[in-house]
Amino acid sequence: MSILDEAKENLGITIDRVDSLAHALKLKVPDNIHVESLRSILPEVAADLKKYFVQVTGENPWTL
């Protein structure tokens, strides 16, 4: 599997993670649990999405 194919696969997996997070918000649990969960998970998901975007496109709009 090429690096590009692997990046596309990982991008799809990460998109599924975001979808799962969106569905988890529909669960009837206290808001503070949702907030704490998202606070801990979203930075990792955002970093992964940026990494795979760069691998797929060859562009990094997040660098100065």
Q: Which amino acid is at 48?
A: D
Are 17 and 47 spatial neighbours (Cβ–Cβ below 8 Å)?
no
At residue 4 the predicted structure's pLDDT band, cuts being 50, 70 and 90, is: confident
Interatomic CA distance for residues 30 and 5, integer angstroms: 39
Give yes or no for residue 11 having a pLDDT over 80.
yes
The pair of three-digit structure tokens given for residue 56, joined into one six-digit string: 């797929």
pLDDT at res. 64? 65
Summarize pLDDT for 20-41 with one digit per residue, the tens.
999 999 999 999 999 999 999 9
